[in-house]
Amino acid sequence: HLPVAVDATCSGLQILAGLAKDASTARMVNVIGSEKPQDAYATIASRSMEAIPDRLKPYWDRKVTKRCVMTIPYNAKPFSNRSYIRDAFKDKGVDVDREELTSCVSAVREAMEQVVPGAMRVMKWIETEIARAIRAGADEIRWTTPSGFNVKQRLMKTKSTVIQTQLMGRCEVHVAGAETGVDLKHHKNATAPNLIHSLDASLLHMAVMNFNAPIALIHDSVLCRATDMDKLSTLVRKTYMTLFAEHEPLTDFALAIGAEEQPPIIGDLQPEAVIDSQYFFC
């Protein structure tokens, strides 16, 4: 009766692969089946190797790139990329300077443009269109997920007051309810992660509606009894196929926000391929 778990292979990139119908990204994150599990982190580490400083090449591997690659689909910016790579090198006992970090971050992001092109284009498109919508007067962003959940993203700037206390020193206090306008930067940074999370929530929501056994879920991981895992794994793959073969989430999102440009759908992925992918969740 103890649960066992399976996790998605970099769920952010799996969702972005479906949104862009991008076979290259899908192959890297096991949406498309293969004899052995694919490793996007190792592939990007290998692809970026030539562009990093020679001194660091002996230490450059998937462990150094993993956290950076994992968070870029959730709109992590170069500043946080730098800290993740610095910490990974620090764990190896290697200190890196500012210029070396800049080279490493650029190398990883350029490699991702080559290895997972659809994912990177979708994120850039979302940021551009959200900025246009906010500048055109929208004060919130709304969309509906394939599972029927209505999302309302309202991110406002708030008035803040700086006070000096005897115990804590300088503190910045945000005054509740004192809105001063739409927070454009926050919307640009938050929309891609929120869209991805709303879709991986839909994936699991729709899958478990047809699963009548003990289950636990968190984000991109499902837990059930070992004797039930075959059924649950099949349901998850079938639901991903349904999500992106019978729905067009990115086109629907574009209509919901009034996008000016068509979404960057590559179109060479057949979502039905996930049915034969042994390592989609593993």
- The predicted-structure confidence for 21-58, as pLDDT tens digits, reads as follows 999 999 999 999 999 999 999 999 999 999 999 999 99
Q: What is the rounded average pLDDT for all residues in the chain?
A: 93
The distance in angstroms from the start CA to the end CA of the chain is 20
Q: What confidence score (pLDDT) does residue 175 get? A: 66
How high is the pLDDT of residue 229?
A: 94
Report pLDDT for 202. 95
pLDDT in tens, 113-147: 999 999 999 999 999 999 999 999 999 999 999 99
**The pLDDT value given to residue 166:** 74
What percent of the chain has pLDDT above 70? 97
Regarding beta strands 150-153 and 215-218, do their DSSP bridges make them parallel or antiparallel, or are they unpaired? unpaired
pLDDT at 170: 76
At 212-229, the pLDDT tens digits run 999 998 878 999 999 999
The CA radius of gyration of the chain, in Å to the nearest whole number, is 21
For residue 137, the one-letter residue type is G
A 10 A CB-CB count for 282 gives: 12
Give the span between the Cα atoms of 270 and 273, in whole angstroms: 6
Is 7 a residue whose pLDDT tops 90? yes
What 3 state SS string does the chain have?
A: CCEEEEEECCHHHHHHHHHHCCHHHHHHCCCCCCCCCCCHHHHHHHHHHHHCCHHHHHHCCHHHHHHHHHHHHHCCCHHHHHHHHHHHHHHCCCCCCHHHHHHHHHHHHHHHHHHCHHHHHHHHHHHHHHHHHHHCCCCCEEEECCCCCEEEECCEEEEEEEEEECCCEEEEEEEEEEEEEECHHHHHHHHHHHHHHHHHHHHHHHHHCCCCCCEEEECCEEEEEHHHHHHHHHHHHHHHHHHHHCCCHHHHHHHHHCCCCCCCCCCCCCHHHHHHCCCCEC
Residue 204 is predicted with a pLDDT of 92
Across 171-194, average pLDDT? 86
State mean pLDDT over 233-259.
Answer: 96
Confidence check: pLDDT of 164 > 80: no
pLDDT band (50, 70, 90) for residue 199: very high
Instruction: Look at residue 107 and tell me whether its pLDDT is greater than 90.
Output: yes
Tokens of 97: 């300077």
* pLDDT reported for residue 257: 97
Residue 174: the pLDDT is 67
Output the six-digit token pair for 12.
Answer: 């952010």
Query: Taking residues 10-28, what's their average pLDDT?
Result: 95
Residue 257 to residue 254: CA distance in whole angstroms: 5
Cβ(43)–Cβ(37) below 8 Å: no
Indicate whether 165 pLDDT > 90.
no
Tell which wins on pLDDT, 210 or 191: 191
Q: Determine the average pLDDT of the residues in 188-212.
A: 94
Please report, rounded to a whole number, the percentage of residues in the chain having pLDDT higher than 90: 85
Q: Over 70: is that where the pLDDT of 97 sits?
A: yes
Greatest mean pLDDT among 76-80, 170-174, 257-261 lies in 257-261
